[in-house]
Amino acid sequence: MAEKLVLAGPASRDLGRAIAERLGAPLLKSEFKVFPDGESKFSSDARVAGKNVIIVQSTYPPADMHLFQLLLASHHLSQEGAKITAVVPYLAYARQDKEFLPGEAVTLGVVAHLMRSVGVRRLVTVDIHSAVGLSLFSFPVYSVSAIPALVEYSRSELGLRDPVVVSPDLGGSTRTDAFAQLYGTALLQLSKTRDRVTGGVKLRDAKLEVRGKDVLIVDDIVSTGGTICAAAEAVRAQGARRVVAVCIHGLFVEDALRNLQDAGVETIVVTNTVPGEFCKVDVSEAIVSHLKTLDD
Ligand code: R5P
């Protein structure tokens, strides 16, 4: 069996260390530098020929910089003879998995192409936005689910009374359905439309049985918070008692946090695919269980 080494990239230092510890694999010594003009540099003199190197690097904002750091490290280490597995807990560009408006680039396809060209042999991510994205990769790609861990946390830590799961978006209903089934509660569905030019979010009117209930709004990504805010306002207006947002990837860009609070979201639960103060659920165990199933 080839020796395994873990590189904890600058975007995922803690998660990378946790993964190395759970795998019982040493951390690879390396240096990432960003010059004052924004250029990145990677160096490592580790001997990696014939070894399995697992590079853990999430690609949350600044997405392009984090992605480029992953590409630099992958290229350098694969040139040195390592077999590269990229663990990218939050996969940037996963929402650009098709041409939504005529003339748009399918950016996730470009990401897949770049990864392959720098020697990435396989990719492990967490709850990819849509299964459509998996088909854009010409090498093995695996999406590990954080839903069981989020359900366990929500059950044991949130003290909810008469809970019900609300999906803000038809696109994410497979994920929310899995959450509701594991939790053992009803799933209520909202339907969102997004203006593809302005990015604005609108929900179709829907009557939901939420009066007096505690509502878990479950989604994959919270970015500007527009989606969760619209759903929170809708369930609040229909008499929900408490509103909790449970998401995999917490980007919280712009005024997301203030807007979520203003919309009546009482608690936010996200995983550590993106580090931050609302990370309540660790994905290292799910990732490592999957890594252990992969061949050399
Ligand atoms: C979109 O389809 C995703 O599932 C999320 O709902 C979306 O990316 C969240 O973005 P925002 O927080 O900006 O509304």
Q: pLDDT tens digit string along 77-96? A: 999 999 999 999 999 999 99
* Test site for ligand 1: of 191, 221, 224, most ligand atoms within 8 A of the Cβ: 221
pLDDT at 8: 98
192 annotated active-site: yes
CA distance 49 to 2: 10
Residue with tokens 């996963």: 94
Annotated catalytic residue within 4, 83, 192, 213: 192
Beta pairing class for 31-34 and 40-43: antiparallel
Indicate which residue's Cα is closest to atom 13 of ligand 1: 224
Residue 108 has pLDDT above 90, yes or no: yes
pLDDT at 268: 98
Indicate which residue's Cα is closest to atom 8 of ligand 1: 221
Query: Which CATH class for the 147-272 domain?
Result: alpha beta
pLDDT at 196: 82
Tell me, using a 6 A CB cutoff, whether residue 119 lines ligand 1. Answer: no
Residue 182 has pLDDT above 90, yes or no: yes
Indicate which residue's Cα is closest to atom 5 of ligand 1: 221
Q: Average pLDDT in the 253-271 region?
A: 98
pLDDT digits (tens, 9 = 90+) for 23-79: 999 999 999 999 999 999 999 999 999 999 999 999 999 999 999 999 999 999 999
Q: Which region, left, alpha or beta, applies to residue 254 given φ > 0 means left and ψ of -120 to 50 means alpha?
A: left
Average pLDDT for the chain: 96
Residue with tokens 């996730």: 108
pLDDT at 134: 97
Whether 147-272 and 4-146+282-291 are alike in CATH topology: the answer is: yes
Q: What does the domain layout of the chain look like in residue ranges?
A: 4-146+282-291, 147-272
Share of the chain above pLDDT 70, in %: 100
Query: Which CATH class for the 4-146+282-291 domain?
Result: alpha beta
Strand, coil or helix: what is 237?
A: helix
Provide the whole-model pTM: 0.95
Hey, what are 280's tokens? 């309540």
Phi, psi angle pair for 170, to nearest 5°: -60, -35
- Closest ligand 1 atom, residue 251 Cα: 12
Which helix H or strand E contains 293, and what residues bound it?
Answer: helix 284-293
